[in-house]
Amino acid sequence: MKQIKEAEGTGTMEGISNHIPYDDLLPMLMNGISDFIFFVDVDGPRRFKYRYMNKSALMGSLAGGAVWKGKYIEEVMDENAAPPLIDAYEEAAQKKGPVTYEDQIMVNGKVFRSHSVLTPTLNEEGDVTHILAVTRNLTEVMEKEEALGSMNAVYKSLMTNTTDAVIILDKDGSVLDVNKAFTELYGFSKEDISGCSYPFVPEDLTDEACELVQQALEGRGTSGRTTIRKNRDGSLLDVSISVSRIQNEEGETIGVSSIIRNVTEEKNEERRRESSRSRYRSLFEHNPQAILTLTFRGTITNANPASLEMLEKEGHEVLHTSFMELISKEQEGAVRKEIHGSFFDTGGQFRTVVDVGGEEKILQISLVPIIIQDKKEGIYAILDDITEKEKAYEGMRQSQESFRLIANYSNDLISVFSPKGALIYASPSQHEFFGEDPMSWSRENLMQKVDLGDLRRLTDLFIKSCQTKEGFTITVKLTSFNGEPVWFECRATPVIDDDHEVSHIVVVARDISEQKSYEEKLERFAYYDYLTGLPNRLLFEENVWKAVEKGQRTGQAFAILYLDGDGFKGINDQYGHDMGDEFLREVGKRLRSCIRGGDSVARIGGDEFSVLVEELKDRRLIRDVSNRLLNELREPYYVRGMEIRTSFSIGVACFPEDGETHEGLFRAADTALYEGKKNGKNQVLFFEDQ
């Protein structure tokens, strides 16, 4: 060390080497260095002989296990690696100054990438006597850079090609990146958004937006949250937002990503449906059917007049009491289970015995969930007195088919496929949904997760998309890890490469199961008769209203037929209500079989039916149809082995002669029906023939 200190201040290898022998100096300085160190003698032009390697170089086996000391470069390296290495050393010797170069060679069958600095040492005469080589191993760094490049390509593909808006934030909430879909949705580009300001968030929802970001940073991501955002022009948008954190390889949270989907049209449709539902609420008070509203604990919160009349009670005697008080002790457990089950299912139907004024009544009770803004708020209990019918069939139960609602906040499933259908990327949310990583599946395993019919349609659309280079949207049913089928809306976008070919297809799937289930149930409940399966009065009136609109626009004539049974009460009295119900079903079947494909038939109530006959080119046609219906309805009915004979009266009104509005047509048909029944029944009477 004393010798080294004496050499300090010279600033050159020459100064140190004049005071300390090389054999002592090199091990002292170089064996503690992680870089590869080589010290070579310069014996002449292109003649470089190894004098020293440090431990790192020896352990790295760059010499391939050969005896290197005292050997020239060409004796140690193979014939391909030696010439460029000698060229670099020769350049340093000629230049008498440092030379830098990068190299890639095969070492023990593996690629070795390096960065080297060659520094010549000079004697007192200024001649180069030795060269010190310091080589740094870049293999791992460059491999990571290549892997990062591949990940960046996937990121760029998702950002560029997904039809949903995407925004990336850092840990401080500052915007790092947005995609084209984001700019198209909100009207703001990345450059328009500075720091942590979010001009696309309404002022009153700023705290909400910041909270979503903070929750994601803490690992509590959000999926499918519906909220309000603002376009650059000031207009408000309904959006569905998913927010999740971004982690690096060490598992550290480095930012937040958010996928935004414009659901304005869907929300507007939902609002229209809500407006329609509010009109139906008025039916509660005026409905001839007895209806109660219950909490999921069975407490009665409302009762319409028909239910109070059926139960022979005043409102204050029923409201805020338990529904269980109406039920016999023996049936309490079963009824409570039905009510609790309605919280999870789409409803139920059961029969029970209640005490009304000291007499037992057998009621058929239908439970229908009350859904407001997609949230179950309670239950409608629809009471039907079936005491007479149940004398022979007491104890039987009827239940409706139930549908389990899909778990809330299911994550969007993002996939990237090759043009041949191979899965090349699956988002982490898919592991959560399927219970395993889809990337480990074979093509056969993947196809088994899709319903067979959906798979055919999906395959056809996939092939067409690759040919036309256009995206598509499809609704499919997938099977979750627990075997449950789930409906998804899938939006697929083909990615076009520089050769104008499809390089891969990005698919974003969103859970729409609850929406589909709710729409189907609401439509069925609102528009169809529970007994015959025919359209009810509400749907029939809508059809007539549409026919009037069309007739006013095109001049097309049509007619409505109002039918009423001439002896239905006698059938109920003679055979019982159960046979009466079967009879009404048979009437519905006959009416359906008698009308044309474009016409419609509905049950108005009791034994009253209506028929809409459209596109009347000749007035004689409606007379033929009416008489054919009358004759068909006169034919005997065979119900449970019994022959029933009866007849119907029919009143007919034609558009536009008998009325130019649907209210006027109904009045005209009803008037004609009344006159026909007054004049002997069992006949067809046209309003114009009165």
Which of the residues are catalytic? 607
DSSP state for residue 455 in the 8-state scheme? H
Beta strands in 205-356 (DSSP E): 222-230, 236-247, 253-262, 290-294, 300-303, 348-356
φ, ψ of residue 547 to 5 degrees: the values are -65, -40
* Angle (CA) 227 230 233, round 5°: 160
Pairing outcome for strands 165-170 and 472-479: unpaired
Half-sphere exposure of 248 (CA within 13 A, CB side): 8
Question: How far is 673 from 609, CA to CA, in rounded Å?
Answer: 12
- How many CB atoms are located within 10 Å of the residue 406 CB? 20
Q: Token pair of 635, please?
A: 């034919």
CA distance 492 to 476: 12
Question: What gap in Å lies between CA 507 and CA 485, rounded to an integer?
Answer: 19
Angle, helix 568-575 to helix 577-594, in steps of 10 degrees: 140
Q: Could you tell me the end-to-end alpha-carbon distance of the chain, in angstroms, rounded to an integer?
A: 132
Q: State the burial class of residue 137 (Cβ atoms within 10 Å of its Cβ: 0-12, 13-18, 19+).
A: middle
Residue 657 DSSP symbol: T
Quick one: tokens of 245?
Answer: 């954190």
**What gap in Å lies between CA 363 and CA 326, rounded to an integer?**
11
**Helix (H) or strand (E) run with residue 663 in it:** helix 662-678
Euclidean distance between CA atoms 670 and 667, whole angstroms: 5
Q: With beta carbons less than 8 A apart as the criterion, state whether 3 and 28 touch.
A: no
Q: For Cα atoms 193, 197, 200, give the angle at the middle one, nearest 5 degrees.
A: 70
* Rounded-to-integer distance, Cα 126 and Cα 142, Å: 39
Residue type, 281: R
Rg (the chain; Cα; Å): 42
